[in-house]
Homo-oligomer: A and B are copies of this chain.
Amino acid sequence: MGKILIKDIYLKGKTVSILIEGNTIARIADRIEEVSEDTEVLDGRGKAVIPGFANMHTHAAMTMMRGGKEDEKLQRWLSAIWAMEKNLDDETVYWGTKLACLEMIKTGTTLFNDQYFYIDSAVKATSEMGLRGVHSYVFLDLNDKEKIESQRNMCAVEYERSKSWGPLNTFAIGVHALYTVSPENIVWAFDFARKHGLKVHIHLSETYQEYMECRGKNNCTPVEYFDSLGLMSSDLIAAHCVWLSRNDIEILGRNAVNIAHNIKSNLKLASGLNFKFRELSDAGANVCLGTDGTASNNNLDMLDTMQITALVQKAWRNDPAAAPLPELIKSATYNGYKAMGLNGGHIKEGALADLSIIDIDNYKFTPNINFDANLVYSANSYCIKTVICNGRIVMKDRYVEGEDEILSQVRRLYRKLWV
């Protein structure tokens, strides 16, 4: 792998140069001269560098269903989505994930935490696009005896297969949710994860219905239920966590659980808007951000997600000082990498070279009194011009290889889901 030198770029109020060697940010200094003939030099003038975003909860191939069902009550929406998902196959997941990766690259995401079906196809797409993906094998058995058994076997098979996935893709365990997975498989899946040092990715306390049903059935909250089984840890990535008791927050904090907050999905599906960002952070949880799938978002844009997260925090707390910018940006970048045990999501020497170069010579960044505020509240993802993931340029001046084919394949295939 060659070297990349980004010259004269804006970083936190200063102009610096950044040298990337292999997959790592090797040096940051006021001035760095070309170090060798094979160094690719990028002109950073009029531009700023930001860390790659970590999208901590998505179902990538759902891009195939973007706009598929709108303005419907939750049950009708879910029925429509499930009907479409029955028609998924390797081809649709492959091209759907390609489109998702294309979109994530265009919007500056370098790491994503995926939970979907046909994961070999999702992994293939992610590898080809050059992004960093965490893909979980999803347990979802609806207490069906046959599935309970077969999913364990398939999980073990998939885990073996994952050893040849290459450096950018990581295998994880997906436990869909408390109400869709049998108690015995929940325990089995967490055990399997612990034994093999894997992360676990779950939906947790997303809706009021889920929260109340669990209380009715188990006499405890969903968080308490998982805790009673000893399943809370910093290896857990819990998506949503909208409905929480005080004790839930304490449990999630004490165990340093990683929370993926998905504001756009929570608003659009009316799951709830008063996510306890401050309480969870203060308690010790690692609050990250995610987009959820495009069926409920409808994009994978982390700039959108950051903005709306911050705006809604301010509003529901009745405090314009809620959601300070540095903390917000950290939740969309560094915290996600931390959840995955990676040194990334920040521009530091020694960190993974996952970053974006963004144009600030435009109206969105004028005047540039407060760069972070312009990024979050004024800009949109078109400002993102060049994206580097794992030391490799995956988008240069907004060009991503193979883009046209992805669009035409998705246009050809999405109808398969509507049979």
Chain A interface (Cβ < 8 Å from any Cβ of B): 63-68, 70-74, 77, 99, 102-103, 106, 264, 266-270, 272-273, 294, 297-299, 301, 304, 307-308, 311-312, 314-325, 361-364, 366-374, 377-378, 380-382, 403, 406-407, 410-411, 414
Contacts and interface: CB of A to CB of B under 8 A. Distances in A.
A363 B102 contact: yes
A319 B72 CA distance: 8
Contacts of A320: 71-74, 77, 268-270
Given A71-B320, A270-B317, A99 B381 contact: no
A299 B364 contact: yes
Contacts of A372: 70
Nearest to A370: B67
12 contacts: A64-B367, A71-B324, A73-B320, A267-B314, A268-B377, A270-B317, A298-B378, A304-B307, A361-B407, A363-B403, A366-B410, A380-B380
A70 B370 contact: yes
A325 B377 contact: no
Given A70-B325, A312-B315, 15 more contacts: A67-B373, A73-B319, A74-B320, A264-B311, A267-B315, A269-B314, A270-B317, A270-B322, A298-B377, A299-B364, A308-B311, A312-B312, A363-B403, A363-B406, A363-B407
Complex copy number for this chain: 2
Most buried by B among A72, A364, A406: A364
A299 B383 CA distance: 14
Nearest to A298: B377
B414 A367 contact: yes
A66 B362 CA distance: 13
A270 B315 contact: yes
> 6 smallest A-B Cβ distances: which pairs?
A67-B370, A382-B382, A67-B373, A267-B311, A380-B380, A298-B377
A295 B23 CA distance: 40
B366 A66 contact: yes
A385 to B, nearest CB: 12
Contacts of A268: 311, 314-315, 320, 377
Given A103-B363, A268-B320, A320-B268, A67 B374 contact: yes
A418 to B, nearest CB: 9
Most buried by B among A325, A363, A381: A363
A414 B270 CA distance: 41
B273 A315 contact: yes
Given A363-B102, A366-B66, A377-B299, A71 B321 contact: yes
A408 to B, nearest CB: 9
A109 to B, nearest CB: 13
Most buried by B among A66, A299, A370, A414: A66
Nearest to A296: B320
Nearest to A375: B67
A321 B369 contact: no
Nearest to A380: B380
Nearest to A273: B315
Contacts of A294: 378
Contact of A298 (B68, B269, B272, B373): B373
B363 A321 contact: no
A74 B406 CA distance: 47
Nearest to A413: B367
A367 to B, nearest CB: 4
